[in-house]
Chains A and B, each alone.
Chain A
Amino acid sequence: MINHFIAQTGRYLAAASLLGAMLAPRPAVADSSLTISYGRQTLRLTHAVTYSGHSAVGIADPAFVALLRATGALLSWKTGQRYVLITTSTPTIVSFALGSPRYDLGPTTVQAQFAPFERGGEPYLPFDDVVRALGLAAHREGGTVVLAAGAPNAPEPAQASPTPEPLPPSPAPSGATMVTGVDVTSSDQGLTVAVAISGDATYEWHRLRDPDNRFWVDIKGATLQGPPIEQNEPAPLVSMRVRQDEPDVVRIALTLEGPKGIAVEPSTTGLGIVVSSQDVAEAPRAGNGSVGSVVSEGQIATAAVTPAPVEEPAQPGSGAEENGWKFGPRSGYVPTNPRLIVLDPGHGGSDRGTIHGGVAEAELTLDMAKRLRDILVAEGWQVKLTRSSDVDVYAPNDSAHDELQARVDVANRAGARCFVSIHANAFINAGPYGTTLYVSKPEDYALAHSIEGRLADDGTKDDGIIKAHYYVTFHTKMPAVLIETAFLSNPSDYALLTSPEWRQKVAQEIADGIERYARDNPVR
C-alpha cells in the first residue's frame, strides 16, 4: 500500500516535472544558413536553423537528402512517427526520437546536442550529431562546413548501453579477455543472465539432469575482473556463482528451481543466458560456442550487432515439411487428364526475366521447355506449354498477377497431372550458383524429390528443395515445382546455360524425374 502510494506520488511528480519542462521557456529557433562541402559537392542547406546555439537541419532539406544519399545512408520517417531512423552505409541504425535529447547509435545511447523537434511538420535533427553518426569528420573553412568520410562515427556514449548486457566498466588490457560483469535481469521469457566479456573467448556449457538442476558455463581464456560473486537470485533461478575456476577459465554456475529451459547465445557485449520460466522435458545437456570475433562459420562480430549464427532447424527438405503448412495439405486433387504435363517456360514477351551477357532468361526457359516437351511426348505423355513462343501468356506489359494467374489457369483448366515451371536464377554478384527447386504445397515435395534426384548430377551444385510461397506453385491445384536450373550471373553456370548440350541434358533429367514421380505416385 505504502509502496503503491509512493509510486503513485512519484508518477505525479514526474508528470508535474514533465509539465513544467513543457511550460518552461524554450530556446529560440532562428533561421540560419549552412553551406556544406562533401567530396566534390557543395551544398547549401535551406532547412537549417539555429537552436540552443547549435545547427539543426530539417530532414526534407534537399541538400541534406543529397548528403545522405552521397554517404549511402537511408532515412525513414513519416508524419506522425516519433522516431527518425537513419540507416548508415555500415549498416548501423541511428534512431532519433522527437523530444528526446538522447539518440541510439546501434546499441549505444548517445547524448545529442539538443532534442530533435518538429517545425512546420518537419523533424529537425542536431546536425553535428547526424554528421558524426554518419562517420563524417567536420571542420569549418570560412563559412563552409567541410565534411570528409572516414572519421570514427561512434561518439562517446553518454550513458551505459540500454541493452540488457552491461557494458564493461573499464577497457581490458590489450589482448586480454576479461569477464567484466554479470548482470541478472527479468525478461519476458524469464531471467536473462548477461555476461559482459571484453575480447574474444570460447565457451562451453553443461547442465545436469533433473532433479539436480545445476548449470554452468566456462568462459575459456578469460579472467574475472573483480571479486567472485555468490548470491541468491529470483525464480526461476535459485542462486548464481561466478569465480575464476582455473587460471584462464571463468565459471558462471547457476542453480535452477527445476528443469528450466536455457538458451545460451552470444550477445552484443558478451554472452546472454536466458533462463525460461517453463520446465522442459528433455533439453540438451551441453554446448559450446564463441564470442567476439572468434565466431563460428566465419561470421564476424562488429560493434553494431554481434552475429550469433543459428541454423534454423526446420529447413525445407529436412523431413519436417509437413509442419507449419499454412492451409494444410490438399491431398484430394485428382487430375482429369492424368497423362497431361503442363510445362511453364518462365517469363517471355515483354518480360525478359534476368539478362546477362546478352542472354535473356525468357529465351533459355523456352528452349529448355521445348526440349523437355519433345522428350516427354516421345515417352507417351501429353504436354501443354503455357507459352510456345516468345510471348506474354496473358498480355504484353500485363500485371505480374494477371500473367502468373494465366499460367496457373492453363494447368488448372486442363486438369494436368503435374506442373513444372522452368527458370534461370541470378544474383547481384557472381558468387551463387547451382540448381534449386521451389515448392509451395505438401504434395509438391514428391515431384520435386523425384526431379532433384535426377538433376543432382547436372554439372552444377544441387541447392536442394526450398519451400516458398510462390504464385504459380501455390495456386496450381496439382503437384507443382519451379526449377531454377542454374545462375546466369555465375560464369560457370552461365557456360552451362548457354550450352545446348547442357540444356538437353537438363531436359532429359527433368523428364526422367517426372517419369519416376508418375511411376511412384500412380493416380488412383
Chain B
Amino acid sequence: MLLLIVAAAGWYWFSHQQQQRGGTIALYFTKQDGSSLGKMLVSMRPRRADESASEYRANLARYAAVQAVAGPPNDVAAIRFPPGTHVRSLTLDGPVANVDLSAEVERQAGGSFAETGEFKALVFTLTAIPGIDGVQVTVDGNRVSTLPGGHLELDQPLHRADW
C-alpha cells in the first residue's frame, strides 16, 4: 500500500513538473523613425524546480535585459545599442531593475536619436515584467548622470512615463 502511495505521489509530482510551462516576455524595440515601438514575444523557459520565485523573476529580468540590448533579429530595422554593449549584471531592488551595462554603451553615434531609442526599448522591455516599473542604468558598475555628450538623465531610474 505504501509503495502504491509512493508511486502515485512520484507520478503526480513529476507529471505536474512536466506541465509547467514558461511564459513569454515582450521584447520592445524602437523603430528607425526614432519613436514608435515594435514588439516581439520571446518565449521563456519555465521556472526550474530548484529555483525560487524571486530567483526566477530576477533571472527573467536579466534575460529580458540581455535580449533588449541585443535587439530584434538583425533583419529587423531597429535602433540598436552600440556594438559590443552587453549587460554586465542585473539586480532587482523592489520595483527597480538595476542594469549594469558595459562601457561600449558610451560609444554613441551622437545626437539624441540612438540614445533615446535604445533606452526606450530597454525600459519598455523590463517594465513589461510584472512588478518592475523603473530601470536604473549604470555603466561598468558606475552611476552616470548622462552618457558622454548625451542627453538622457541616467542618475535616477527611468520609467515608461519618461517617454
Contact = CB atoms under 8 A, between A and B. Distances in A.
A272 B23 CA distance: 11
A85 B150 CA distance: 29
B87 interface: yes
Interface stretch (A235-243, A307-315, A332-340): A307-315
Given A91-B70, A426-B111, A466-B34, A400 B41 contact: no
Interface in B49-80: 49-50, 55, 59, 62-63, 66-67, 69-76, 79-80
Interface residues of B, number: 80
Contact of A311 (B37, B114, B144): B37
B112 to A, nearest CB: 5
A521 interface: no
Nearest to A327: B161
Nearest to A404: B146
Nearest to B156: A469
B87 to A, nearest CB: 5
A266 B41 contact: yes
Interface in A336-354: 347, 351, 353-354
A400 B38 contact: no
A349 to B, nearest CB: 12
B161 A400 contact: no
Contacts of A203: none
A120 B135 CA distance: 33
B42 A74 contact: no
B89 A427 contact: no
Chain B CB within 10 Å, residue with most, of A7, A164, A188: A164
A424 interface: yes
Contacts of B46: 162
Contacts of A231: none
A162 B88 contact: no
Contact of A316 (B150, B160, B163): B163
A354 B124 CA distance: 27
A428 interface: yes
Contact of A76 (B35, B88, B112, B148): B88
A399 interface: yes
Interface in A53-89: 74-76, 78, 81-83, 85, 87, 89
B35 A354 contact: no
Given A162-B44, A401-B155, A423-B112, A302 B32 contact: no
A472 interface: yes
A511 B46 CA distance: 58
A18 B43 CA distance: 27
B23 A187 contact: yes
Contact of A468 (B43, B116, B124): B116
Interface stretch (A217-225, A376-384, A430-438): A430-438
Given A401-B145, A471-B146, A267 B109 contact: no
Contact of A305 (B5, B27, B55, B88): B27
Interface string B1-29: 00001101110111000000111100100
A268 B41 contact: yes
Nearest to A103: B45
Given A13-B6, A13-B10, A438-B116, A305 B42 contact: yes
A474 interface: yes
A308 B41 contact: yes
A518 interface: no
A9 B14 CA distance: 12
B95 interface: no
Nearest to B89: A78
A10 B12 contact: yes
A469 to B, nearest CB: 4
Interface in A272-327: 272, 299-300, 302, 304-312, 315-316, 324-326
Nearest to A6: B9
Interface string B146-162: 11111111010011111
A468 B48 contact: no
Interface stretch (A93-101, A137-145, A410-418, A443-451): A93-101
Contact of A315 (B36, B70, B80): B36
Nearest to A326: B161
B21 A312 contact: no
B73 A302 contact: yes
Interface in B76-129: 76, 79-80, 82, 84, 86-89, 109-114, 116, 120, 124
Interface string A8-24: 01110110001000000
Given A163-B21, A427-B114, A308 B40 contact: yes
B161 A78 contact: no
The 9 closest A-B pairs by CB, nearest first: A354-B110, A10-B13, A401-B145, A163-B43, A425-B111, A469-B162, A91-B70, A107-B43, A9-B9
Given A267-B43, A469-B158, A487-B113, 18 more contacts: A7-B12, A9-B5, A74-B70, A82-B55, A97-B48, A161-B43, A162-B22, A163-B43, A268-B41, A310-B37, A400-B144, A400-B148, A426-B111, A428-B114, A432-B32, A436-B34, A468-B120, A470-B112
